[in-house]
Structure 1
Amino acid sequence: MTTRTDEAAASQPGLPARDNPLARIALRFTAFTERWLPDAFGFVLVGTFVIFALGLLTGEKIVGAPADPKATTGYGLVDAWGKGFWSLIQFTLQMAMIIIGGYAVAVSRPVARLIARLAQIPKSPRAAIAFTAAVAMLTAYLNWAFSLVFTAILAKEIARLVRGVDYRALGAMAFLGLGTVWAQGLSGSAALQVASESSSPAPVQEVIKAGRGDSGLIPLTETIFLWQGIVATAIIFLIAVAMAWLLAPSPGRAKTAQDLGIELRPLLEERSADTTDVAAARGGGRRPGDWLEYSPLFAILIFLLGLWYLARYFANAKGNPLNALDLNTVNLILLLLALILHWRPLRLVDAVRRGAPAASGVLLQFPFYGGIFGMIAYTGLAKTIAGWLVDISNAFFYPAVIAIYSCVLGIFVPSGGSKWVIEAPYVIEAANQLQVHQGWMVVVYDLGEASANLLQPFWMLPTLAILGLKARDIMGYTFAMFLACFPAVLFLVTLFAQTLGFPR
């Protein structure tokens, strides 16, 4: 096995560590989180009662429900919690499937070979951490779900090859795409929703039309493809990579996977061993009935059938085909890719079996986040919070205020952008009144939403499951990254807002 290290530092662990101030800060944050932070499930339990208490303080009633069972406002906190508890059940299954599908793609032989080659690029612990951060953000820009799985597996392989690299820092950087650029990328939920007539609810379209005067939709050219948004995303990318380089601790103070009791096996060897074990367990394909599991025939036919459907689906999409992207379409694409990349159905079944544990945190915690969502969305609490922010704002500061609002709310309701449909009417209405560019407010909301992920562990769950880490192991690093990136977000959204007019 080929390994690399800073030989001098690694061979003399008794020497004083030469960490820069940022690395020392990250290590202090990490020491604090390792000692005091609960596991990810603890966050949602505490968050539930934080929001309940906030509702009481703002005058929300404890119980009560409107006469119309289809109403989305007027509930008391208890009833709102119950109404919201299962409100994200479809989203829960979509998220579980996207994690499992992304895992199945990432561990297929062709992608595993790609990961193994990429893992050989960084030559030192510091370069390994910065490289992982860059890959995480680039892949998250394309698709956040694939990024979570792909970069986590890449981080494991890098940790195996590069001695002296801090496994906790690698884990934090593998997640970085979800805390920076994902919502401004091709899978950004809010931008895709407001660009599609079928995805954007009528109340949202009405308030958009009131400000534009022509259409109730905001095209992607006025959100994620604004040059201001692209430049802001690029700047955040550069800041995050630079921070990743600076945050890396010296080998003398790093905690490797071995230090944490985590065994790392070569990725390609692991894939080969797993496939052999499955084949042996099923008799090695000797039974006539095993032919279907080993033959690629139906995998190819199903892939072609799916490809035919997707070609028709995107061809029939109105306007930009990207507007037709939604979670169901992304899941279908991932499963089709996994099927053809694994080639034999037996290998895909095995990959899904091994990927399912990565979705366990989502299956358990999403209903409880749905309860928090209900207490915010089905009472008057969301409008109360937004009203506070709008009251203290003006046209100049409104983008920064909404970025803060989106970030704060995202800590308690990490919905991946789905809560935008609840907040869009008053966020856009306030933008109309203050004459702020509507599309830019979608960009602002997305950047704030992504930043929240650095402060709470919900979306870290798939990455943590693959790496064998706990949230407290990496949150010291993600918090240090937040302190660098979020102020930059606030500055950029305020600066670029001045270059945009109010479209009519």
Structure 2
Amino acid sequence: MIKALGAKFTEIFKKYMPDAFVFALVLTIIVGGIAVVWTESTIMQVIQAWYKGFWMLLEFSMQMILILVTGYCIALSPIVKKLINKLTQFIYTPKQVYPFILIVGMMLSAISWGWIVITAVLARTLAMRIKGLNYPYLIACVYFSGIFWVNGFSSSIPLLLNTENNYLIEAGILTTTISTSSTLGSILNISVMLFSLLVAPLLFFLLIPKEEQGLEEMLLDENQIDVTTIKEEADGMKHSVMTVSDKLNSSIILQYMVGLMGLAYIVFHFSTNGLDLNLNIMIFVFLIMGMFLHKTPIRYGIAMKRSSMNISGILFQFPFYAGIMGMMIHTGLGDELARWMVSVATIDTYPLMAFFSGGVVNFAIPSAGGEFAVIGPSIINAVKEIGVGLSESEVNQMIARSALSIAYGETLTNCLQPFYLLIILPIMGLGIKIQARDVMGYLIVPFLVFLVGWSVMVVFVPI
């Protein structure tokens, strides 16, 4: 029955869900319309807010492109290809692939959410070798594994709460930082992690579709599979007689000298800041690793070119989502929505209200840090009002619970919208005809199961 339900949702999504860009355009109109009706903003003020927002995620967009390109570049190196082959040598059947990818993907996402790129490369490699897979379903497995980032080292909201002099403290909303031991190290977060690790692989195993749709059958052009290695392409670009430019292009010493500079900074960063994982340092690590793995400038350039072949979705769609974010922030719509949702909250229901607030606002602001900046202050103030009369430590525990609830809600509703699928499809969709609608339907049943499971946990599991 559960398999038939998954198939039914998939057919519905294939029939009714438009392209990811159309989704962004429809969401733009919906959020703009709500802003006009709900806030005191005029139509022109909403349009101005939309324009202001357009440029708010330029840095984030570039970070997304670089995490994608540099991560894929590493995966194209001969050493990593061998490691991937060794890691997957005991995987022979589709029924082994799906849970394997989910578990590995969750572990990688726990380190850094940007590492979903590595999961995508791993999954595509397996899909090239193993027959009988349903490739869109495999993409869904990769995408869903990324929800685990919210429990791990790069979970932005808990990290923000533990940052000295963060904007919440400067605004007087918080009086002190909240340790990650109260959020990421809490009983609640560990329980959510265990629930995800146990339920997700089992659920996706039960949902495996009957029909096969292998990667090789979907390829539009067999040449999309790299026939020539990066080394062979680099050698083919040399002159018949070695020139100065050829020597510079093929210089291991030159590339390794710069690589050592980067390695020195990486050691310095982690020795002075501990396990401080953020997007910038992860991109830098990927860049330097790629330089060492590809050895010469010409090979690294070829690898980066191959890694950049399918990034158009991020380039032009992220600004539209940023525009939606701008309307939420500059019209006050996000704050109004948060106030309305927490106005009905009580000492027993505030975690659930925070959870649903995070989930709903995520459609308009698909960035945990950006979303928390909009709705976090209102929710924390509401929690403080609800907790009047309690000790400071008890109120801080309530704030920690509400912050985690927002984070869980935010990441879970990614299952219903294709924003972060734009990071996976450039790798897994290379050379094939596939859209978000071919993937998203497989995520509805897992979304519903986790919605119920996480809703119960944020309310009843101790912090």
1:32-78 CA deviation, whole Å, 9 max, x = no partner?
222221111111100001101111231432257xxxxxxxxxxx312
Whether the 8 Å contact between 2:356 and 2:409 is mirrored in structure 1 is yes
Deviation (angstroms), 1:181: 1.0
User: In the superposition, relative to structure 1, how do residues 266 and 354 fare at CA in structure 2: closer, same or farther (>3 Å)?
Assistant: closer
Distance 1:278 1:23 in 2: 48
Whether the 8 Å contact between 1:203 and 1:425 is mirrored in structure 2 is no
- 1:179-328 paired onto structure 2 within 5 Å: 180-197=147-164, 200-201=166-167, 206-209=172-175, 215=176, 217-250=177-210, 253-261=211-219, 270=226, 273-283=229-239, 286-317=242-273, 321-322=274-275, 324-328=276-280
Whether the 8 Å contact between 2:112 and 2:277 is mirrored in structure 1 is no
Counterpart in the other structure of 1:13:
none
Q: TM-score, normalised by structure 2?
A: 0.91
Counterpart in the other structure of 2:391:
none
1:474-496 CA deviation, whole Å, 9 max, x = no partner?
11112222112221111111112
Query: Cα RMSD (Å) of the superposition?
Result: 2.3
Distance 2:78 2:156 in 1: 30
1:78-103 CA deviation, whole Å, 9 max, x = no partner?
21111111111112112211111111
Counterpart in the other structure of 2:330:
378
Residue 399 in 1 paired to residue 360 in 2? Answer: no
The one-letter code sitting in structure 1 at the alignment partner of 2:417 is: Q
Whether the 8 Å contact between 2:109 and 2:149 is mirrored in structure 1 is yes
Instruction: Please point out which of 10, 31, 39 is paired with 1:51.
Output: 31
Instruction: Please point out which of 21, 36, 49 is paired with 2:16.
Output: 36
Distance 1:128 1:366 in 2: 31
Whether the 8 Å contact between 2:328 and 2:364 is mirrored in structure 1 is no
1:127-178 CA deviation, whole Å, 9 max, x = no partner?
211211112111111111122x212222222222221111111111111222
Counterpart in the other structure of 1:170:
138
- 1:442-481 paired onto structure 2 within 5 Å: 442-468=403-429, 469-481=434-446
Whether the 8 Å contact between 2:32 and 2:327 is mirrored in structure 1 is yes
- 1:332-343 paired onto structure 2 within 5 Å: 332-343=284-295
The one-letter code sitting in structure 2 at the alignment partner of 1:153 is: V
Distance 1:138 1:264 in 2: 32
User: In the superposition, relative to structure 1, how do residues 284 and 412 fare at CA in structure 2: closer, same or farther (>3 Å)?
Assistant: farther
- 1:81-92 paired onto structure 2 within 5 Å: 81-92=50-61
Counterpart in the other structure of 1:493:
458
Whether the 8 Å contact between 2:39 and 2:333 is mirrored in structure 1 is no
Deviation (angstroms), 1:205: 5.9
Q: TM-score, normalised by structure 1?
A: 0.84
Deviation (angstroms), 1:416: 4.5
Counterpart in the other structure of 1:144:
113
Counterpart in the other structure of 1:122:
91
Deviation (angstroms), 1:442: 2.4
Distance 1:203 1:379 in 2: 24
User: In the superposition, relative to structure 1, how do residues 431 and 276 fare at CA in structure 2: closer, same or farther (>3 Å)?
Assistant: same
Whether the 8 Å contact between 2:46 and 2:327 is mirrored in structure 1 is yes
Distance 2:198 2:318 in 1: 32
Whether the 8 Å contact between 2:106 and 2:149 is mirrored in structure 1 is yes
Counterpart in the other structure of 1:69:
none
Whether the 8 Å contact between 1:160 and 1:265 is mirrored in structure 2 is no
Whether the 8 Å contact between 2:168 and 2:174 is mirrored in structure 1 is no
Q: Tell me the secondary structure at the aligned position of residue 278 of structure 1.
A: helix
Q: Tell me the secondary structure at the aligned position of residue 85 of structure 2.
A: helix
User: In the superposition, relative to structure 1, how do residues 227 and 28 fare at CA in structure 2: closer, same or farther (>3 Å)?
Assistant: same
User: In the superposition, relative to structure 1, how do residues 342 and 441 fare at CA in structure 2: closer, same or farther (>3 Å)?
Assistant: farther
Counterpart in the other structure of 2:126:
158
Q: Tell me the secondary structure at the aligned position of residue 41 of structure 2.
A: coil
1:402-446 CA deviation, whole Å, 9 max, x = no partner?
111111111222125333222221122222222352222222222
User: In the superposition, relative to structure 1, how do residues 290 and 196 fare at CA in structure 2: closer, same or farther (>3 Å)?
Assistant: farther
Distance 1:379 1:108 in 2: 47
Distance 2:333 2:122 in 1: 41
Residue 419 in 1 paired to residue 371 in 2? Answer: yes
Distance 1:283 1:463 in 2: 37
Residue 387 in 1 paired to residue 339 in 2? Answer: yes
Counterpart in the other structure of 1:9:
none
Whether the 8 Å contact between 1:236 and 1:489 is mirrored in structure 2 is no
Whether the 8 Å contact between 2:152 and 2:184 is mirrored in structure 1 is yes
Whether the 8 Å contact between 2:109 and 2:152 is mirrored in structure 1 is yes
1:322-367 CA deviation, whole Å, 9 max, x = no partner?
3x43322221111111111222222221121112234321111111
Counterpart in the other structure of 1:7:
none
Deviation (angstroms), 1:263: 6.1
1:188-224 CA deviation, whole Å, 9 max, x = no partner?
12222222236x3256662121xxxxx2x22222221
Distance 1:152 1:316 in 2: 32
Matched residue pairs, number? 450
User: In the superposition, relative to structure 1, how do residues 326 and 28 fare at CA in structure 2: closer, same or farther (>3 Å)?
Assistant: same
List gaps (5 residues or longer) in structure 2.
388-394
Q: Tell me the secondary structure at the aligned position of residue 109 of structure 2.
A: helix
